[in-house]
Structure 1
Amino acid sequence: MGSADVILVINLFVAGLLAAAFMTIAIYDKSRVSARWLAFGYVLGMVYFALEFVIPAFDNARLPVVAAFAVFLGATIVFNGGLAHKYGVAPPWWPMLFFLAIASVAVYLVQELPRQSLTAMMAYQLPYAVMQFTALGIVWSSRQRRERLDTILMAVLTASALQFASKPFIAHGLGGRGADPQSYVQTSYALVSQSLGTVFGLALALLALAILVRDVLAEATSKSETDALSRLLNRGGFERHAEITLRDAARRGVPVALVIADLDHFKGINDNFGHACGDRVIETFAGFLREAAADHHVAGRIGGEEFAIILPGTNLAAARLFAEGARSAFAALPIDSLPAEHRCSASFGVAELGAGEGFSDLLRRADEALYQAKGGGRDCVRVSAGPAGRQASPVFNGRG
């Protein structure tokens, strides 16, 4: 058994392990369609390596060579389908399958040419490069936010496509790919080609696996930090994201403000109209808060009827205007399940992060301002005078 044979056997088992890894994710999260496609892609990879290993046993290897080519190209197509599902892009199945058919016919026909013909070698390798560039296009065209792993994946896809495109020239430089398909595995080119395939195939698989695991963990974290009723961050999630936001704002040198809101007379709503109606009020206010918040804001439900929103890049005056706009708009908002003439209101406390303060200090001052708003007749906004200030300042009052 030559060195290339050993690599083929290793690749066969590695492809099996990767297929099992992706299938494990698919079983863990049945909604993750991309993991099923990626698992299938590596199953096809196993078939390809098995075909490459048995090709020397055929007297006429023309059809087995075409079959191996088609299976491996099919594996790259299925891999692309998995990426498309992962990145929310419509998989270009029909164009890719049509390309598979055309490329397979071309490989069958070019076997009439001399083995060392550059045309024949390019007909075999360039379709793989095209599929890798297609995968790159899928990731690039996604509207999902790209993180570091996604960028690395794009770089590896580019490098993989280029190594496929360069293989005909590598084969030429190493003395060719053998006198016939049966002798391919004994050539120096086979060793280099299979080694390159192992490196890039494993790199792509591990990156795809890491990205899927990252997404699974991110979703699990998001679920653990999300309040089921309001679909905002719960208190723990809000505090964690608030700390991150404050650190980022300090790094960028921008102000940060915190607005806390508490629904007025909420116990009376539960007592007079029932808890289901109270839940509806919470859902309505949470939805209103989500719509009012910008993408970079952090909103959460930090108590039964208490909400908070971190406003990075916002000073005290702007945060006060945000709170007053939210107060007046919510007070005019009809609530399902409540009588048409009944309107709900909320009280607001606002504070801006001061020099040397942490999140707990900011939260305490905003909470003190909210307490002043509740004590000042409700349906109003109060702002903290600052770290040195002892009283919250009245700003707007919906009761006039």
Structure 2
Amino acid sequence: MGSADIILVINLFVAGLLAASFMTLAIHEVGRVAARWLAFSYMLGMAYFAAEFAIPAFDDARLPVVAAFAVFLAATIAFNGGLAHKYGVAPPWAPMLFFLAVASVGVFTVQDLPRHSLTRMMAYQLPYAAMQSTALIIVGSSRQRRGRLDHLLMTVLAASAIQFASKPFIAGALGGWGANPQSYVQTSYALVSQSLGTVFGLALALLALAILVRDVLAEATSKSETDVLSRLLNRRGFERHAELAMGDAVRQGVPVALVIADLDHFKGINDSYGHACGDLVIETFAGFLREAAAEHHVAGRIGGEEFAIILPGTNLAAARLFAEGARSAFGALPIDGLPIEYRCSASFGVAELAAEEDFSGLLRRADEALYQAKGAGRDCVRVSPGPTGRQKKPISGKG
């Protein structure tokens, strides 16, 4: 058994391990369809390596060679389908499958050309380069936010497309790819080609695995940080995301404010109308916060009837106006399950981050302002002008 044969066997087992890894990930809801397609891709990869290993056993290798080519190209198409599902792009099944049929016919046709013909070699390798380029387009066209792993995946896809396109020239430099298909695995080119395939195939697989695992972990983290009733961040999640948002605002040199709200007389609502109505009040206020918040704002339910929203790029005056608008709008909303004339209200505390202040200090001051609002009769807004300043009067509301 030559070196190329050994690499083929290694590739066969590696493809099997990768297929099993993707199938394991497919048990999770996040990325389930993508993982299944990627697993199928590496199952096809196993079939391809097995076919390559078996080709020397055939006297007439024309059909086995075309079949091996078609199986490997189908594996790249399945891989593209997995990426498309991962990145929220409609998989271009029809053009890819049409391309598979045309390329397979093309490879069958060039079997009559001289073994070392550049046209024949290009007919084998350019379709693979085209599918890797398609994968690059799929990832690049996604509207999902891309991180470092996604950009690295795009880089490796581009490099893989280039190496497929360059293989005919590599074969020429290394003395060709054998006098016939049976002798291919004994050539220096086969060793280089299979080694390149191992490197790029493994790199793409590991990156795809890492990206799917990242998404699964992110989903698990999101669920652990999300309040079920309000569908806002819970206290743990809010504090983590708020500190990140605050840190970004400080680095950018923009102000950041925190608004804390508490639903007034909430216990009375539960006692008089039942906990189901109380839940509806929480859901209504949370929905209102989601609609009022901008994309870069961070909102959460940090207590039973207490909510908070951090506003990067917003100073104290603008945050106070936000709170006043929220107080006024929420007070006018009818709540299902409550008497038609009943209106709920909320009290608000507002603080702007001071120089050298940390998140806990900002949270404490906003909370103190909230308690001043509750002490002033509720249904009003109070602001904290600074760590050592005196409390300002509200611009509107009760008190």
TM-score, shorter chain, exceeding 0.5: yes
Q: Tell whether the 8 Å contact from 1:40 to 1:78 is kept in structure 2 after alignment.
A: yes
Q: CA deviation at 1:396?
A: 3.2
Q: CA deviation at 1:21?
A: 0.6
Distance between the aligned counterparts of 2:44 and 2:121, measured in 1? 22
Distance between the aligned counterparts of 2:344 and 2:49, measured in 1? 67
- 2:67 alignment partner in structure 1: 67
- 1:117 alignment partner in structure 2: 117
Give 3-state SS (helix, strand or coil) of 2:276's partner.
helix
Provide the aligned length of Structure 1 versus Structure 2.
Answer: 399
Q: TM-score, with normalisation over the residues of structure 1?
A: 0.98
- 1:97 alignment partner in structure 2: 97
Letter in 2 for 1:114: P
Distance between the aligned counterparts of 2:337 and 2:189, measured in 1? 74
Give 3-state SS (helix, strand or coil) of 2:140's partner.
helix
Distance between the aligned counterparts of 1:55 and 1:392, measured in 2? 84
Residues 31 and 315 (structure 1), Cα distance of their counterparts in 2 relative to 1, 3 Å cut: same
Q: CA deviation at 1:49?
A: 0.3
Determine if the alignment matches structure 1 residue 85 to structure 2 residue 85: yes
Deviations 1:33-66 (A, max 9, x none): 1111101100000000000001000000000000
- 1:194 alignment partner in structure 2: 194
Q: Tell whether the 8 Å contact from 2:30 to 2:216 is kept in structure 1 after alignment.
A: no
Give 3-state SS (helix, strand or coil) of 2:356's partner.
coil
Distance between the aligned counterparts of 2:342 and 2:95, measured in 1? 58
Distance between the aligned counterparts of 1:144 and 1:360, measured in 2? 33
Distance between the aligned counterparts of 1:290 and 1:147, measured in 2? 25
Give 3-state SS (helix, strand or coil) of 2:344's partner.
coil
Give 3-state SS (helix, strand or coil) of 2:395's partner.
strand
Determine if the alignment matches structure 1 residue 249 to structure 2 residue 261: no
Structure 2 unaligned regions, length at least 5: none
Letter in 2 for 1:137: I
Distance between the aligned counterparts of 2:90 and 2:70, measured in 1? 23
- 2:221 alignment partner in structure 1: 221
- 1:329 alignment partner in structure 2: 329
Deviations 1:54-105 (A, max 9, x none): 1000000000000100000000000001001111111111111111001000
Q: CA deviation at 1:31?
A: 6.2
Q: Tell whether the 8 Å contact from 1:379 to 1:397 is kept in structure 2 after alignment.
A: no
Q: Tell whether the 8 Å contact from 2:31 to 2:86 is kept in structure 1 after alignment.
A: no
Q: CA deviation at 1:29?
A: 3.7
Distance between the aligned counterparts of 1:271 and 1:385, measured in 2? 36
Determine if the alignment matches structure 1 residue 283 to structure 2 residue 283: yes
Distance between the aligned counterparts of 2:117 and 2:391, measured in 1? 84
Letter in 2 for 1:307: F
Determine if the alignment matches structure 1 residue 170 to structure 2 residue 170: yes
RMSD of Structure 2 on Structure 1 (CA) = 1.1
Q: How does 1:362-381 map to 2 (within 5 A)?
A: 362-381=362-381
Determine if the alignment matches structure 1 residue 395 to structure 2 residue 371: no
Give 3-state SS (helix, strand or coil) of 1:378's partner.
coil
Deviations 1:278-327 (A, max 9, x none): 10110111011011111111110000000001111111111111111111
- 1:355 alignment partner in structure 2: 355
Letter in 1 for 2:151: T
Give 3-state SS (helix, strand or coil) of 1:392's partner.
coil
Deviations 1:344-376 (A, max 9, x none): 111110001111211111011000110111111
- 1:344 alignment partner in structure 2: 344
Letter in 2 for 1:170: I
Deviations 1:201-225 (A, max 9, x none): 0000000000000000000000000
Q: CA deviation at 1:5?
A: 0.5
Letter in 1 for 2:27: I
Letter in 2 for 1:215: D
- 1:8 alignment partner in structure 2: 8
Give 3-state SS (helix, strand or coil) of 1:111's partner.
helix
Distance between the aligned counterparts of 2:395 and 2:381, measured in 1? 6
Q: CA deviation at 1:399?
A: 4.2
* Aligned-residue identity in percent: 83
Q: Tell whether the 8 Å contact from 1:177 to 1:184 is kept in structure 2 after alignment.
A: yes
Q: Tell whether the 8 Å contact from 2:41 to 2:78 is kept in structure 1 after alignment.
A: yes
Distance between the aligned counterparts of 1:361 and 1:31, measured in 2? 40
Letter in 1 for 2:224: S
Q: CA deviation at 1:15?
A: 0.3
Q: Tell whether the 8 Å contact from 2:282 to 2:305 is kept in structure 1 after alignment.
A: yes
Residues 79 and 257 (structure 1), Cα distance of their counterparts in 2 relative to 1, 3 Å cut: same
